[in-house]
């Protein structure tokens, strides 16, 4: 019971506070509310990251260890993508070339960090084996991102105007991520074998397929509900046209306002 109480206060309640704080920080229009939400989110994130030390015997601590392991590379990749994206062909708020170079360096560093987690000495292990959350995360990223990059490439090629540099970048990104996935299926890491990664890829594919099917089913159900609702609605009443009396009154008012008075003729 004590272990469950500690997990509640150090993991579950801070997790709820993180979600609520992010929502308030993004949607609130009051500056003080946004600042308080940001402080609550930061403090709650620290509590979640501390779970490997505060509640080491709880299964929730593995997720806190996973968040702490991927936080660094994910921040580098996010800031790097922002700098590279907003230093290109954008109409307003364009960043400088120095920001672009810094973004490219962050992308290389963040990507290398993730690769070192697979084939290097930085593989997240908790307590003595590969963190299962990390394995799910990494296999899903390697599986999904090449398709996302290829889809963005098609969109930019179809709807973009003079976006050749962006097309080359997206093509290289999709190809690189595809090669990373193939390498993971054939090359063993120091703590992660290719067979274990292949099993995780199959599970990730099943998860992604289920999400796509569920999203499609939800969209179909929503469309059916809208169709049924609109068919059950009574048509709005049709307004009758103006009567002869109304037309005569409008004609009189127009004539009195457009014909002018004695001062206009004078």
Q: What's the pLDDT tens digit per position in 89-146?
A: 767 778 888 888 898 899 999 999 999 999 988 889 888 888 989 999 999 999 998 8
Instruction: Look at 66 and 173; give whichever has higher pLDDT.
Output: 66
State how far the Cα of 63 lies from the Cα of 84, in Å rounded to an integer. 31
Q: What is the pLDDT of residue 198?
A: 92
Distances (CA, A) of 8 to 1, 29, 50, 55, 173: 11, 31, 13, 10, 41
pTM of the model: 0.76
How confident is the model over 238-264, as a mean pLDDT? Answer: 76
**What is the residue whose two structure tokens read 């009396």?**
245
User: 195-201 long-range CB contacts below 8 Å, 24 or more apart?
Assistant: 196/130, 196/135, 197/118, 197/135, 197/139, 200/135, 200/136, 200/138, 200/139, 201/139, 201/142, 201/143
Q: What is the pLDDT of residue 67?
A: 92
Mean pLDDT over all residues of the chain? 86
How confident is the model over 10-38, as a mean pLDDT? Answer: 88
Question: Per-residue pLDDT for 13 more than 70?
Answer: yes
State how far the Cα of 195 lies from the Cα of 204, in Å rounded to an integer. 14
Question: Per-residue pLDDT for 215 more than 90?
Answer: yes
Question: Per-residue pLDDT for 223 more than 90?
Answer: yes
How confident is the model over 140-153, as a mean pLDDT? Answer: 88
Q: What is the pLDDT of residue 11?
A: 87
Q: Which of 93-97, 196-200, 221-225, 260-264 has the lowest mean pLDDT?
A: 260-264
Domain extent listing, the chain: 8-49, 50-230
How confident is the model over 11-32, as a mean pLDDT? Answer: 88
Task: Give, rounded to a whole angstrom, the gap between the first and last alpha carbons of the chain.
Answer: 99
Q: Which of 44-48, 69-73, 253-257 has the lowest mean pLDDT?
A: 253-257
């Amino acid at each position: 019971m004590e272990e469950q109480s500690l997990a509640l206060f150090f993991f579950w309640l801070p997790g709820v506070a993180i979600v609520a704080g992010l929502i308030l920080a993004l949607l609130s229009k009051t500056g003080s509310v946004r600042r308080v939400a940001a402080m609550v989110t930061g403090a709650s994130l620290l509590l979640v990251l501390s779970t490997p030390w505060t509640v080491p015997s709880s299964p929730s601590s593995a997720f806190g260890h996973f968040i702490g392991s991927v936080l660094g590379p994910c921040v580098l990749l996010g800031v790097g993508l922002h700098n590279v994206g907003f230093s290109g062909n954008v109409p307003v708020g364009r960043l400088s070339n120095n920001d672009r170079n810094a973004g490219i360096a962050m992308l290389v560093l963040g990507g290398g960090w993730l690769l070192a987690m697979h084939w290097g000495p930085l593989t997240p292990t908790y307590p003595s084996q590969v963190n299962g959350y990390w394995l799910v995360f990494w296999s899903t990223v390697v599986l999904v991102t090449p398709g996302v990059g290829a889809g963005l490439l098609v969109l930019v090629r179809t709807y973009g105007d003079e976006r050749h540099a962006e097309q080359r970048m997206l093509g290289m990104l999709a190809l690189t991520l595809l090669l990373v996935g193939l390498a993971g299926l054939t090359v063993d890491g120091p703590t992660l074998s290719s067979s274990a990664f292949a099993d995780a890829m199959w599970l990730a594919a099943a998860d992604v397929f289920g999400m796509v099917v569920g999203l499609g089913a939800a969209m179909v159900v929503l469309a059916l509900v809208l169709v049924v609702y609109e068919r059950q609605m009574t048509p709005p009443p049709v307004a009758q046209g103006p009567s002869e009396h109304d037309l005569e009154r409008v004609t009189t008012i127009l004539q009195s306002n457009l014909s002018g008075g004695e001062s206009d003729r004078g």
